[in-house]
Amino acid sequence: MERNIGRLNWKEIKNLVPERINTCILPVGTMEAHGVTATGTDIIIPRYLSDKIAEKFDFLTAPEIPYGITHSLLPYPGSITVDDRTFEQYVHGVLIGLKKTGFKRVIIMNGHGGNNQVLDDLAFRIYRETGLFCAVIHWWILCSELTKEFFGEAGAHAGVDENGMILAIAPELVKEELLEEDDIYLYSSGLRAVPIPGSVITYKKGEGAPRFNREEAVK
């Protein structure tokens, strides 16, 4: 069954929503440098997770929002940002449209940390304004303990968790041969640099660097 409303006819949507299906998942991300994998990593992963969850729980999905709030990695080629207010207004408009379509619940599947605060605030605002139930999933945070349990170390930007997801979803997008030592940067909370001098950002010394074992990633 097709579950992306962008690929359904309006009459099909009318017949499904809300009598049969009242929940929609909205994937949101950004365009940003990600080590040796695609600049669209932050939307490829939410799109994949949204499709899998929708299939399992009989939900529908919305076309993804691929542009978000990019900061420290903006100077890297392929990284694109919109300002906070523009992003907020755009996502708000999409949520209003999903409510008008008949959905009673929307799950925002977020793939990018720069979007977190705006999306969290929007979930409350949209409920207050319209009564639409809205949940926001920041997948890498929700799965942080699972990452430690499975990989034995903390995740990282473009690291073991994100790189592993792309390796499992679309291995052709992971270019191991492009990885250089200088690509990996250990983040310090007391230092802010733009651009961050490495597009693989780890948060704990000796942990989080990308791995390239696809069999491990698929598990």
Domains of the chain: 5-218 (3.40.50.10310)
- Cβ atoms of residues 29 and 116 within 8 Å: no
- What are the tens digits of pLDDT across the range 41-56? 999 999 999 999 999 9
pLDDT digit string, tens, across residues 139-179: 999 999 999 999 999 999 999 999 999 999 999 999 999 99
Do the beta carbons of residue 125 and residue 89 sit within 8 Å? no
C-alpha pair distances (Å), 202 with each of 112, 189, 199, 219? 15, 12, 10, 22
pLDDT for the residue numbered 192: 84
State how far the Cα of 75 lies from the Cα of 13, in Å rounded to an integer. Answer: 41
pLDDT band at 214 (very low <50, low <70, confident <90, very high): very high
Largest Cα span, the chain? 54
Residue 123 has pLDDT above 90, yes or no: yes
Q: Which pLDDT value is given to residue 194?
A: 86
For every residue of the chain, DSSP letters joined together read: ---BGGGS-HHHHHHHTTTT--EEEEEE--B--BTTB-TTHHHHHHHHHHHHHHHHHT-EE---B------TTTTSTT-B---HHHHHHHHHHHHHHHHHHT-SEEEEEE--GGGHHHHHHHHHHHHHHH--EEEEEEHHHHTHHHHHHHHSS---BTSHHHHHHHHHH-GGG--GGG--GGGEEE--TT---SS-S-SEEESBTTB------HHHHH-
Could you tell me the pTM of the whole model? Answer: 0.97
pLDDT, residue 189, reads: 87
* Residue 193 confidence (pLDDT): 86
Overall average pLDDT of the 195-207 stretch = 94
d(Cα 51, Cα 22) in Å, to the nearest integer? Answer: 16
Mean pLDDT, rounded, for 134-140: 99
Q: What is the pLDDT of residue 40?
A: 99
Q: Closest by alpha carbon to 161, among 211, 116, 203?
A: 211
The tokens for 164 are: 């592993």
Mean pLDDT over the full length of the chain: 97
